[in-house]
Structure 1
Amino acid sequence: MSTAPGPNGGAPMVAEVRSLSRPLSDVTDLDPLVARVHGARFVCIGEASHGTSEYYQWRALLSRRLIEEHGFSWIGVEGDWPDCWRINQWVKGEADQHLDAVGVLSRFERWPTWMWANREVADFLTWLHAYNLARPGPARVGFYGLDVYSLWDSLWEVMGWLEANSPDALPTALRAWQCFVPFGEDPHLYARSTRLVPTGCEPEVVRLLVEVRRRARETLGDEEMLDVVQNAEVAANAEHYYRTMVRGDRQSWNVRDHHMVDTIGRLARHGGPGSKGLVWEHNTHVGDARATDMAREGLVNVGQLLRERHPADSVALVGLTSHRGTVVAAAAWGDPESVLAVPEGRAGSLEALLHDSLGDPAVIVFPDDRSGPWLSSWMGHRAIGVVYHPDREARGVGNYVPTRIGARYDALIWLERTTALQPLHHEGRPTEPELETEPTGF
């Protein structure tokens, strides 16, 4: 391990990093982090990429401890509600019990499937399924999707529920459906059409949402009501998202993150007073946007909005990052995935500083006073998306988000070398996926 400050931070900065860090080699080394976050109602656990095995593994280990030892009762992830609802039903022992975790995850079809259909997630869900089945039904831990992309899938779910439960409300649903029919199931074709008719199908889906809310509260039990109302919320917000996105308006990012935080609020209310939840998302959603250059663009994110909506001690934000290794990503949206090399952290970056200061994996819990030379400084912090070009990063182009680390997170898990996660299946031929707005530098 290097002892000289070098080009990636002066001696005071290195000293602060070392004073806050504890070695990380097994699950018991998470003790300081568990002690710091277990009292929060919302613990958000990030990742510097969607394709790194160790991020998923350590996030799962931390989550297991918080579930087993401190009663966390639900997990919200950066995934679609209908897909994750099927997982939720399976892990609670309520559906598809003839399948194993791999069989349930094989149903993920939306690109990039490797985000959730991977061996690391399957291992965690296998554990969660067994954990739940040993507990009474009301005490079982849920697994829910927070994202906004599933416009057509969610509309289908709402239509099916209305047909079975409130057939007299079908005309309202059919008006919403028929508005989208000319576009097949292509959200991009629909979104492009709204350039000429700015409101598009918005009035129809809003009326559908109002109707479903009313009918659901009249006729459903709590868990089923959560599903149908959430699908209606997704339909309304997805319509807004795509309509905003196609105009090149970066505010589509805000539409998406507001939707995710509103969903977190519904999950918390569904869990009842005092329920505690875990949020699994990319660092760019978890880490407070006000401590990055996203703020200059007028962008917000999940971590920021949770901190703004809830007392400070009820929200804990945990980032994960590493120095080098391999990752699963694609060369372009919709392309098949590849295992790509992740170069060493750029000189002057957070990753380079932690490598030079520590040299081994560590858990870093931030104190209340974050005015020290490292926690208060701005540094580049690597963020790898589902599309990644390591050659550009090696040339100093992109992938680093200017960050004030002490304000962005409450703790950090640092890993020296990481490896690509293990997809359960490979992507098929290139398709046009659900497009995503990306923050600066990501």
Structure 2
Amino acid sequence: MSATTATPAERPEQVFQDRREAGRVLAGLLEGFRGNPKVTVLGLARGGIPVAWEVAASLGAPLDAFVVRKLGVPGHAEFAMGALASGGIVVVNDDLIRDLRISPEQIRRELDREGRELLRREAVYRENRPPPDVADKIVILVDDGLATGASMFAAVDSLRRQEPAQIVVAVPAAPESTCRDLSAMVDDVVCATMPFPFHAVGESFWNFAQVTDSEVLTLLRTPTSAGTARDAKALEFGSAATAVRIAALDAPDGVPSLNVLLDLVGDARIVVIGESSHGTHEFYAARAEITKRLVEDKGFSAIAAEADWPDAYRVNRYVRGGGHDTTAEEALRGFERFPSWMWRNAPVLDFVGWLKEHNDRSRAQGRTLTGFYGLDLYSLHRSMREVVEYLDRVDPAAARRARDRYSCFDHLSGDDGQSYGYAAAFGAGESCEQQVVEQLVELQRHSLEYVRRDGMAAEDEQFYAERNAVSVCDAEGYYRTMFSGRVSSWNLRDRHMVQTLAALVSHLDRHSGRASRIVVWAHNSHAGDARATEAGTHGEVTVGQLVREAYPDACRLIGFTTFEGSVTAASQWGGPAERKEVRPALPGSVEELFHELGEPSFLVRTDEGNAAARTLRAARLQRAIGVIYRPETERQSHYFHTRISDQFDAVIHIDTTRAVEPLERTSLWVEGETPETYPSAF
């Protein structure tokens, strides 16, 4: 195993700084075993020992080494044909041995060689201590990761013969198939991450240097008793909180001072501002105030939101003095699709009203107007209607052809894109891919002809229509791929948003004759850089990552976090808006660390290389609440591992937040949710 130490730019998909950090993350997933006197932690030597020490120290459990040796394919030692475990247990891959025609003599030689090494390591690591007695114990078997799982299978087989009460396998990274296979053999399997596609364990680590015998001995000699673990954890947590406290900048209600903001933004053309929920008042309000300052003091000329293109363009027409709407509330009526409160809420209403007034003043002073645009692709049917209506005005014959092509979707009920995707993906209905592509190509082919008819106004309308046609194309692909895997549909959506952003940049540059500057509003899960998150190891990309790649020296990513409060969210997709209590953030999360500062709100820059940035480069849990909040499955549904220093250039934390107020307040929202008592209610 070779040592590999990489920088974020070189290996951005890696999650854990090193094995010790991976162990701390894994320990957070094993909290239920803390303080249980029956628990024993066994680390597979050598690589599993640093991970296992962190787990044992966190749980206050004894630690010992369990030696397993991989049996390599002759001539290709990196490929395992089996494994040898303490107690003489041998596990082999019969199919592989048969396919590669490995002889019994070759297997015997490999067993003899690895058997001697196993005995040597046991003697070195034991230091005359007897093997641990695991009978009737809860054994947590820890390694630094699994590939085929041969070593872990051998370890499990050996341990079962000693009749422990339970066997729990815990690893930082492994392919889903291996985790699934192990779950049939043991009482529980904890795989912190399951990268896809999976290539090698080392790809999940920044530093995967080989562990030496000396390191193993040092860790085995270091106590993991409950008191020691608590003291070490308190010291580490206190140091992290101190580092963040020193770097924290005042941001009342989530809004930093103008000087802090201008210094952070600098000459960036694209500023992406996130939110850790789609239903938090403070996130919307602070983001709006920050955006106002960027518009007024830095000349930003557009807001591009995680909203559907035609619905946001209706707002754009209103704030720029066009369209038929006479109030901000009317302009927001295009947002009818679930979740309507995401844009039809009080802070957005106030911002749209402000933007209209700002543009009225700018027009009177001969200054550039600021627009409001959408980046998302859920508007399949609405965008089709907009394309046809545009062509009805400029080219009726082309409109007839568009209607004919888009009639491919007529067999669907209502605006249900998911029904189309399911039918197309599984052969239960016609695919409309060819038709939507043909329509986009024809519209683009005639774009210059349409624009020449009416100058600048015609160019705006042609651009609007073309982006609608692109949205139809990408929405068709999105719904068709959503049943073939989350990653492919997620990536198609985020790539669409960034491609729309790039098209908007070009359009505005052409109009103004200068480099335009745009504020992007999106959820943290889109706004941050995927390469610094657990999702990135699964192959996902994000708006933040793609923006950094497209504008490497001209963008800033800003995230928001909160510790507790309330949120507007649904309990299921398509459900009504509810006002729900947000539970206090989990131990081991970045939100818990920020809460420790005891400040109501602050900003931390993570792009300056200070102690706080280094502290926040450690992998920690981070909460993400979208339009659905399921507190009953909080950990599984709403947390993922991130290195927040690499995910964002700055983070704004607001410790306690409240639910955003929808423009349509239902009785369910008004009544709210009965607050829970933590950890139990009587």
Counterpart amino acid of 1:158? Answer: V
- 1:5 Cα offset (Å): 9.7
Judge conservation of contact 1:13–1:373 (CA < 8 Å) in 2: no
How far apart, in 1, do the equivalents of 2:598 and 2:624 lie?
20
Counterparts in 2 of 1:306 and 1:8: CA distance versus 1, 3 Å: farther
Judge conservation of contact 1:112–1:427 (CA < 8 Å) in 2: no
- 1:360 Cα offset (Å): 2.5
Secondary structure at the counterpart of residue 252 of structure 2: coil
Match of 2:282 in 1: 54
1:421 is aligned to 2:421: no
Secondary structure at the counterpart of residue 134 of structure 1: helix
1:389 is aligned to 2:630: yes
Counterpart amino acid of 1:19? Answer: I
Mapping for residues 4-403 of structure 1, pairs under 5 Å: 7=234, 9-25=236-252, 27=255, 29-97=257-325, 99-136=326-363, 139-185=368-414, 186-194=416-424, 195-196=426-427, 200-220=431-451, 221-272=458-509, 273-310=514-551, 312-369=552-609, 372-393=613-634, 396-403=635-642
- 1:223 Cα offset (Å): 1.3
Counterpart amino acid of 1:62? Answer: I
- 1:199 Cα offset (Å): 7.4
Most deviating of 14-23 and 130-139: 130-139
Match of 2:147 in 1: none
Counterparts in 2 of 1:368 and 1:275: CA distance versus 1, 3 Å: same
How far apart, in 1, do the equivalents of 2:240 and 2:521 lie?
30
Q: CA RMSD for the aligned pairs?
A: 2.2
Counterparts in 2 of 1:267 and 1:406: CA distance versus 1, 3 Å: same
Judge conservation of contact 2:305–2:520 (CA < 8 Å) in 1: yes
Counterpart amino acid of 2:278? Answer: H
Most deviating of 236-245 and 168-177: 168-177
How far apart, in 2, do the equivalents of 1:246 and 1:42 lie?
33
Task: Provide Cα deviations, 1:223-264, integer angstroms capped at 9, x if missing partner.
Answer: 112201100000100000000013344310001000000000
Match of 2:645 in 1: 406
- 1:33 Cα offset (Å): 2.8
How far apart, in 2, do the equivalents of 1:392 and 1:138 lie?
51
- 1:187 Cα offset (Å): 1.5
- 1:426 Cα offset (Å): 4.3
Secondary structure at the counterpart of residue 95 of structure 1: coil
Secondary structure at the counterpart of residue 183 of structure 1: coil
Counterpart amino acid of 1:143? Answer: F
Judge conservation of contact 1:151–1:187 (CA < 8 Å) in 2: yes
Number of residue-to-residue matches in the alignment: 422
Judge conservation of contact 1:289–1:408 (CA < 8 Å) in 2: yes
Most deviating of 404-413 and 368-377: 368-377
How far apart, in 1, do the equivalents of 2:528 and 2:487 lie?
18
Match of 1:440 in 2: none
Counterparts in 2 of 1:156 and 1:411: CA distance versus 1, 3 Å: same
- 1:313 Cα offset (Å): 2.1
How far apart, in 1, do the equivalents of 2:607 and 2:407 lie?
55
How far apart, in 1, do the equivalents of 2:350 and 2:266 lie?
23
How far apart, in 1, do the equivalents of 2:381 and 2:490 lie?
20
How far apart, in 1, do the equivalents of 2:354 and 2:577 lie?
27
Counterparts in 2 of 1:25 and 1:422: CA distance versus 1, 3 Å: same
Secondary structure at the counterpart of residue 516 of structure 2: coil
Most deviating of 160-169 and 335-344: 160-169
Counterpart amino acid of 2:354? Answer: W
How far apart, in 1, do the equivalents of 2:665 and 2:473 lie?
32
Counterparts in 2 of 1:9 and 1:210: CA distance versus 1, 3 Å: farther
- 1:417 Cα offset (Å): 0.5
Secondary structure at the counterpart of residue 413 of structure 1: strand
Most deviating of 23-32 and 271-280: 23-32
Most deviating of 271-280 and 135-144: 135-144
Judge conservation of contact 1:319–1:411 (CA < 8 Å) in 2: yes
Judge conservation of contact 2:622–2:640 (CA < 8 Å) in 1: yes
Judge conservation of contact 1:216–1:228 (CA < 8 Å) in 2: no
Most deviating of 138-147 and 244-253: 244-253
How far apart, in 2, do the equivalents of 1:86 and 1:233 lie?
18
Counterparts in 2 of 1:226 and 1:355: CA distance versus 1, 3 Å: same
Counterpart amino acid of 2:525? Answer: T
Judge conservation of contact 1:24–1:30 (CA < 8 Å) in 2: no
Counterpart amino acid of 1:140? Answer: L
Task: Provide Cα deviations, 1:70-99, integer angstroms capped at 9, x if missing partner.
Answer: 0000010011111111100001111235x2
How far apart, in 1, do the equivalents of 2:644 and 2:535 lie?
14
Judge conservation of contact 2:556–2:649 (CA < 8 Å) in 1: yes
TM-score by length of 1: 0.91
Counterparts in 2 of 1:62 and 1:216: CA distance versus 1, 3 Å: same
- 1:28 Cα offset (Å): 5.8
How far apart, in 2, do the equivalents of 1:426 and 1:338 lie?
9
- 1:421 Cα offset (Å): 0.5
- 1:375 Cα offset (Å): 2.5
Structure 1: tracts of 5 or more residues without a match:
430-442
How far apart, in 1, do the equivalents of 2:660 and 2:347 lie?
7
